[in-house]
Structure 1
Amino acid sequence: MRIDSSTARSRELGGELRRIRLASGKLACDVARDLGWSTSKVSRGETGQRGMSQVDLAMLLAKCDADPDDIRRLLELHADLDNGYWVRPVGGVMNPALRSLITQENTACALTNVELQVIPGLAQTEDYARALFHEVGTLDEDAIEAAVQTRMERQNLFSHRRRDRPRTLFYIHEQALRLPVGSHQVMRDQMLHLLLLGNLDFCTIRVVPVSAGARGTFVGPFLLFEYVEHNPVVYVDIKTAAVFLERKEDVATYRQALGRLGAVSLSEGQSRELLAALASEYDLPGDDDDDRPDG
């Protein structure tokens, strides 16, 4: 199959152009005619397969009656370079990095998510997510609720109503399963949620055991996105920014890391057994909320 030359940045920009055009009620052929372009120029711009000058972009956005904030944001996005390292700023509930992450999640045919310290966002329960944001302590109550809602909406990716749910593999370190977040009830429900998620035919959960030692912690948290017609993308969160990596040598490095991680992780069956055991431990009667399974 032919892999197109689009990038994560160009596909996000194209997707935004299509969203704005559809919201305006205009057909691609009508916009093209009004601007003196071919329809294919608009279509290829919306799929990220064709570059567009900043002047053309501004004309297209104006023709589709785009909001001034959208125009500013997309012109800034257009100015970013496609050099294999795409850095997106972090800050606020719906920040540029999160917006770009959601775009990749919803266009990938497969994703692999590695987490060492906490449960991956795509696998968190609502109560776990809320407790985690509270304990991090950087958001006020309104922002926490907005962040929790956004995280839950991201999980629509796994809805049974979607026919194109991505094949998903989670590598979760055992220490993340034992790290106290919220109450015993929150942790028990989180373990049960992981058990249910891992039983879905498109989802696999493998636990990296503490017994793996440093071999299970040599690589930080990241996501690998794979697509039907595009090159793979690696997403790395460095707290103050997020980096999307697309160079073949960078992606190959993370694939090698996944191979080493897979070699020391529990099997699917062993992972389910550990999750069930932890759920039972968190459910022990008479325990205080501050008590946690300590391995």
Structure 2
Amino acid sequence: MDITQLGDRILSGDRRALARAITLVESRRADHRAEATALLDRLARSERQALRIGLSGTPGVGKSTFIESFGMMLVGQGLRVAVLAVDPSSARSGGSILGDKTRMERLSREPNAFIRPSPSQSHLGGVARRTREAVALCEAAGFDVVLIETVGVGQSETVVSELSDLFLLLLAPAGGDELQGVKRGIMEMADMILVNKADGPLKPVATRTCADYAGALRLLRKRPQDPEHFPKALTVSAVEEHGLAEAWTEMQTLTQWRKAQGHWARNRAAQARYWFGQEVRHALLARLESPQARSEMDRLAKAAADGDLTPASAAEQMLAYLNANR
């Protein structure tokens, strides 16, 4: 693969080249990883930046419908929008449906939009293993807004806050148990809560739910990266496309304030530090996957199971083996 040519095509906004590059960075082959690293290093020189918006929420809340309506609105304003959707993988087969493109039929036909579903595989935190690198590729391709849709399974989906500038939490018109379930963890990470499905008979319920969440947000500790009245809760209807423009205005207000106060740059620097640590950890864990290391692991695991070694002693011997075979 000609990395130089591929990089030039991405910088020119070629969506097919972008899709090919994302496939490259998602590959686990050693030669592909080397090519992906070279490509990302080359594209980093462009210093292009997009507004990265992470979006999480419970299954069935209407994340895909919201993203399509919101994306269509942004495209209508002349912006280029990329959607990186993470699909849950089966713990048994490892497969994923990857049906997000079919659920965003209108947006997928837009020439200024790009939709890429990726399997979560065994990676925790609601995003795929290489979502961060896919975001960087989309920025290099000249997209103005990158929407990152998480798996949508609960409070553990806070990793998306480590690769986004804004983190939106999408919730359905409800209260009580649902409010209790998200009062900590993911809710503390959210920059904005959007109560979806505020239409028809659910509109009054959505309004009350929004008021409940707004009250809950006021009880949380004030964060230095938030101006007055943030984070806040709003009602939206992805189906009727109500409230989307107001939500976008609030997102722009928050983004501009953070840039002016220096929080944007500090957040991006902190995220780079976080992902550096993650890369080192994954590289160290990858050393355990070699055939020789697996054989030694099996031998020491058997010794621990048979009682010949304690688990702590077996672990020490395994670390000594890795240090001796670097």
TM range (shorter): under 0.3
TM-score normalised per structure 2: 0.24
TM-score normalised per structure 1: 0.26
Name the structure, 1 or 2, with higher relative contact order (CA <8 Å, separation 6+): 1
